[in-house]
A and B are shown apart, each in its own frame.
Chain A
Amino acid sequence: MKANRLIDLFALYGVNAVLLVAFYFQLAHGELPCSLCNLQRVAFMLFGAGLLLNLWGKNPTPANYALSAIGALVGSLIGLMQMFLHVLPGTPPYGGAVLGMHMYTASYVVLTASIIYCVLMLSFQSCLQSIDVGTSSKDPRRSPFVRLAVGLFAALVIGNLVSVFVETGFHALYSDPHHYHLLYRGDPESSDATPSAGS
């Protein structure tokens, strides 16, 4: 396997880890993602999409890194916007914290680092392509580690589609959801435990 593909493989595992942590907070801690959180999840998927096309596609091109970088840029700007919403003293944060940073801040840091990753990979692509790591196989896409990373990424993308549909149904994304729209008869943004009448 070429060195650049191996690094992309590790990066795709990183994207999977981030999306898994987001699901952990959602399912284990009951922290429903807000509108901007959901959009940042898609941004991570976009970053992963360029890596997926590099690993799984027939003709990997530098344009895939451009896709990853632009996706990460959009996501980091969304994270920055959310940081501005919660940065004022006395403004309550949204959701839990990872390594002392609330998730939108952590997301901003990781997505900004992802842009730098894309720039570096593009800069050193020709150098990395000349390095072979491990045994060379006819089709590196058949490697079980690649299949696992791609399978996990696919499961997480589909899982997020199901999650957001259960959370919002056919409505716009909620700013401050407390309940899943399809599993609750009241207003999903109401923190009240009892459903509101007439909804």
Chain B
Amino acid sequence: MFIGFIPFLSGTVSLVLSLLGRDKAARAGWWLTTLLVAVWAVHHGSHHIPQFATYGSW
């Protein structure tokens, strides 16, 4: 599900829309890319929770 290139693909599509002057669609695409990066970061970061748990109190 968390295929690595998906945020990059979303960014590239948004870039093409930006260059074509479709500002509204491009802006929506870039916001979608932001959301994808955040979700992907949570997914990959969650693998390190046991390591963070050793750091003492948060």
For A39, A154, A158, A174, which residue has the most chain B Cβ atoms within 10 angstroms?
A39
Whether B51 lies near A85 (C-beta < 8 A) is yes
Residue total for A at the interface (Cβ-Cβ under 8 A): 46
Contact flag A42-B7 (CB < 8 Å), given A56-B18, A58-B23, A175-B47: yes
Q: Which A residues lie within 8 Å of B9 (CB)? A: 161
Check if A35 is an interface residue, CB within 8 A of chain B: yes
Question: Which residue in A53, A78, A85 is a CB contact (below 8 Å) of B41?
Answer: A78
Residue total for B at the interface (Cβ-Cβ under 8 A): 33
Q: How near does chain B come to A181, taking the closest CB pair, in angstroms?
A: 9
Question: Which residue in B8, B18, B37, B47 is a CB contact (below 8 Å) of A161?
Answer: B8
Check if A70 is an interface residue, CB within 8 A of chain B: yes
Give the residue name and chain of the B residue nearest to A161 (CB). B8
User: How far, in whole Å, are A60 and B4 apart by their CA atoms in the complex?
Assistant: 31
Contact flag A53-B23 (CB < 8 Å), given A71-B34, A164-B8: yes
Whether A165 lies near B23 (C-beta < 8 A) is no
Q: How near does chain A come to B47, taking the closest CB pair, in angstroms?
A: 7
For B3, B8, B41, B43, which residue has the most chain A Cβ atoms within 10 angstroms?
B8
Whether A165 lies near B15 (C-beta < 8 A) is no
Q: How near does chain B come to A69, taking the closest CB pair, in angstroms?
A: 10
Whether B37 lies near A74 (C-beta < 8 A) is yes
Contact flag A81-B45 (CB < 8 Å), given A39-B7, A49-B18, A164-B4: yes
- Give 1 or 0 for each of B2-40: 1 = CB within 8 Å of chain A CB: 111101110110110011010100110011011001101
Whether A67 lies near B5 (C-beta < 8 A) is no
User: How far, in whole Å, are A164 and B9 apart by their CA atoms in the complex?
Assistant: 10
Whether B11 lies near A45 (C-beta < 8 A) is yes
Question: Which residue in B8, B34, B40, B52 is a CB contact (below 8 Å) of A160?
Answer: B8
Please report which residues of chain A, range 76-112, place their CB below 8 angstroms from some CB of chain B when the two chains form the complex: 77-78, 81, 84-85, 88
Q: Which A residues lie within 8 Å of B41 (CB)? A: 36, 39, 74, 77-78, 81
Q: How near does chain B come to A112, taking the closest CB pair, in angstroms?
A: 16
Question: Which residue in B5, B12, B23, B44 is a CB contact (below 8 Å) of A36?
Answer: B44
User: How far, in whole Å, are A71 and B15 apart by their CA atoms in the complex?
Assistant: 15
**Which 5 residue pairs spanning A and B have beta carbons closest together?**
A168-B4, A173-B4, A161-B8, A49-B30, A35-B44
What are 19 A-B interface contacts by the 8 Å CB criterion? A36-B41, A36-B44, A43-B37, A46-B30, A49-B11, A53-B23, A53-B26, A53-B30, A57-B21, A58-B23, A75-B37, A84-B55, A85-B51, A153-B15, A154-B15, A157-B15, A161-B5, A171-B4, A172-B2
